[in-house]
Amino acid sequence: MISAEQPINFTRGVPADESFPLEQLADCATTVLSGRTGTQVMQYGPSRGYAPLREWLAACHSVSPDQVLLGNGSLQLIDFLGLGLLQPGDLVLVESPTYDRVLTLLRRRGARVLGLPLDADGPDIAALEEILQRETPKLLYLIPDFQNPSGATMSAAKRKRVVELAEQHGVILVEDAPYRPLRYRGEILPSLFELAPHRTLHLTSFSKQISPGVRVGYMIGAADTVTRLAKMAEDTYITPNLLGQATVYEFCQRGLLEPQLDRLRALYGQRLLAIADALRTQLPAAEWIEPDGGFFLSVTLPEGTTGAELCQRAAEVKLNLSDGCGFFPNPSDGERFLRLPFCALTPEQLAEGVHRLASIVDAPSS
């Protein structure tokens, strides 16, 4: 039973604390540090990252190791992409809504960012076609699987069409896929990288699969782009977190990754069911996309309710919310949008959180 005094946080999209395989990681790190690799990972090393992990990932993605760049998480690799590929004023297309931190990075590089309205099955293709008739964007940044923040997954048909259009118009696809292995139901769809390897930069990360604390993300792309970004990495931090990378390598090559992913799918899949049930029964007037995986479900609040005023009222019932405007290239489009990350809360907390949310959505504002 959760007391009314206990706060419920729907603010940050973090993994569950109890999901971290601490003992296994400790054992892997001990092996790394006690062997010959100990000295190697304690020293400056290659800016592209720990070679055995690059080779292992190359085999997983059926590419050559010179197409793999490891970094300190994937977000910084996206920053390097902006630094390496964008000039101020270049157009970048994103989904609307999209991952807020990427919007910040793109703007920091002086990019012009336009949003494609997002439907339950991915971005609005007519809007994409319309923009491509008059402009050539440098990049098309997409999160096809269990999108942050909406939870939407791009359909197979839209993936195919996006790839065709990118080919026709010479646009580079940036596929950000940290949630892709966390599918709780339905069939796996081809990644954009699988559909168009020469045109796609595929980013992913161990943050959601093992832990953000290991700070290991990676990009798969053309070898010359990897070389260019590796130079940026070298100029920024000389060498990435080799201890984290070698520990992740040890974890993967011991065969621990798949069982870890199975545990996560079981844990988070239950949580998704819990929040979806709670929303259906307690907030029937809200609109939302039902995710098939990932960390996020987001609701569009009923007309007349804004996220900003709700955040204030939420504090009175010990509910922590953040308003959704930051996820939209045009912030006012997100006034009724509320992201509800569900993985770090138990089913009981999710039910109670949605109950509190419903109580303030229904309450007349003071």
Ligand X SMILES: Cc1ncc(COP(=O)(O)O)c(C=O)c1O
Does residue 217 touch ligand X according to CB under 6 A? yes
Q: Phi and psi of 6, rounded to 5°?
A: -80, 120
Residue linked to tokens 């920053």: 79
Which is closer to ligand X, CB of 13 or CB of 97? 13
Which is closer to ligand X, CB of 226 or CB of 351? 226
Which is closer to ligand X, CB of 158 or CB of 313? 158
Does residue 207 touch ligand X according to CB under 6 A? yes
How far is 325 from 338, CA to CA, in rounded Å? 9
Structure tokens at 123: 């971005």
What is the closest distance, in whole angstroms, from the C-beta atom of residue 118 to ligand X in the complex? 13
Packing angle between helix 347-362 and helix 257-282, nearest 10 degrees?
30
Within 58-87, which residues bind ligand X (CB under 6 A)? Answer: 73-75
Other beta carbons less than 10 A from residue 308's beta carbon: 13
Q: Yes or no: say if 74 and 221 are a contact pair by the CB < 8 Å rule.
A: no
Which is closer to ligand X, CB of 233 or CB of 358? 233
What is the closest distance, in whole angstroms, from the C-beta atom of residue 261 to ligand X in the complex? 16
**Residue 350 exposed, middle or buried by CB count within 10 Å (0-12, 13-18, 19+):** buried
What is the closest distance, in whole angstroms, from the C-beta atom of residue 82 to ligand X in the complex? 13
Alpha helix locations (H) across the chain?
22-34, 37-42, 51-61, 74-85, 100-108, 125-134, 156-169, 192-195, 223-237, 242-253, 257-282, 307-316, 347-362
Q: Which residue has the closest beta carbon to ligand X?
A: 73
Instruction: Please name which of 136, 138, 137, 93 lies closest in space to residue 117, comparing C-alpha atoms.
Output: 93
Alpha carbon distance, N-terminus to C-terminus of the chain = 29
Does residue 143 touch ligand X according to CB under 6 A? yes
Alpha helix locations (H) across 125-256?
125-134, 156-169, 192-195, 223-237, 242-253
Does residue 13 touch ligand X according to CB under 6 A? yes
Which is closer to ligand X, CB of 12 or CB of 263? 12
Q: Yes or no: say if 128 and 93 are a contact pair by the CB < 8 Å rule.
A: yes
Structure tokens at 28: 């892997």
How many residues bind ligand X (CB under 6 A)? The answer is 13
Which is closer to ligand X, CB of 109 or CB of 313? 109
Which is closer to ligand X, CB of 220 or CB of 351? 220
Element (H, E) at 319: strand 319-320
Does residue 144 touch ligand X according to CB under 6 A? no
What is the closest distance, in whole angstroms, from the C-beta atom of residue 207 to ligand X in the complex? 3
Stretch of 44-52, 154-162, 204-212, 260-268 contacting ligand X, by CB under 6 A = 204-212
Whether omega for the bond prior to residue 15 falls within 30 degrees of 0, making it cis, is no
What is the closest distance, in whole angstroms, from the C-beta atom of residue 243 to ligand X in the complex? 17
Stretch of 205-213, 257-265, 327-335, 353-361 contacting ligand X, by CB under 6 A = 205-213
Which is closer to ligand X, CB of 12 or CB of 231? 12
Site string for ligand X, 163-202 (x = CB under 6 A): -------------x-x------------------------
Does residue 148 touch ligand X according to CB under 6 A? yes
Site string for ligand X, 334-363 (x = CB under 6 A): ------------------------------
The one among 7, 65, 212, 302 contacting ligand X by CB under 6 A = 212
Instruction: Please name which of 236, 232, 162, 237 lies closest in space to residue 200, comparing C-alpha atoms.
Output: 162
List residues near ligand X by CB under 6 A. 13, 73-75, 99, 143, 148, 176, 178, 205, 207, 212, 217
